[in-house]
Structure 1
């Protein structure tokens, strides 16, 4: 399984005219179908009266075959959504969505022409899209004294871990998420910090 992958760090729009039809391609960060629907709603509001609003998305890791989907939105089957999805998958970028708006110009393109038209803007956009690395993190927890909390928080920050919750009782129960590759280092650093009294528990 991937421990990290690229995701979009910004949005991009490419506009083209192909045989009198206007194609406007959008690329954006998308980590759920709800994200995709929200962007699609906004695009329909901002670009009313278009002939088609086709989309594709991969809302998980690039190799996640479950969290993905596409729509031809009335174009001939397989001429828009699926080719768009194939382009996204080929880019090896996760959590990415694409919408292509078409204003029909009166000239039919045929299935092959539609495939090329609906993927052209995405191919150009993917070459320009800014990305960042997303680290896959897994749940973990540890308990520390009040005097140790600041050092523990600093240590977790150094290891690119994310604290998700803290429970304050006689001791502090710290829940966090951390990458698998950072686990061994965390164990070593905790042992050094506390002479062996601090131990992390990993859920996976």
Structure 2
């Protein structure tokens, strides 16, 4: 079966380059437009179901996509919530560096291993419950990055832009990356940062893999 992970549309905190994490921030108007655009691209294929993180920015994106592709309301999966960034949430990279210079660990931050330990089994469970199907799962940049680190660790880091689509195959109990920025997204009007560092306000901290 095939899972297509979609990053939610833009929020005001994305625009301001603030760390969101587990903080529940809704889509802004640009984010809604991105979600609709992604939905129109996805509508070119057949889909069997749509699932989402419970956070509003993902849920709203999933609802817009579901309407575009002709699916019923998305089902929320709690284990797919974004990584908890602790005291980093709500802060820009500059603010964070002033409080925690260098690579000092930020209090309350969820480890990447912890994210992988809850997200990957949840995706595998969805895959096994939907054998032979094609499903859409709307999640977050930190979630997608964690899945990529687990299933394709040799792959160079790259921006995971709002509204982007990333395809995976479930085979023999494991997830395999098919396409980062799946070709379904080629005609999208979505634009993003040119590099991972420009897109992520805490990129230099993420480089440690913590």
TM-score between both structures, scaled by the size of structure 2: 0.26
In terms of fraction of residues, the more helix-rich structure is: 2
In terms of fraction of residues, the more strand-rich structure is: 1
Instruction: Select the structure with the greater relative contact order (CA < 8 A; seq sep ≥ 6).
Output: 2
TM-score between both structures, scaled by the size of structure 1: 0.26
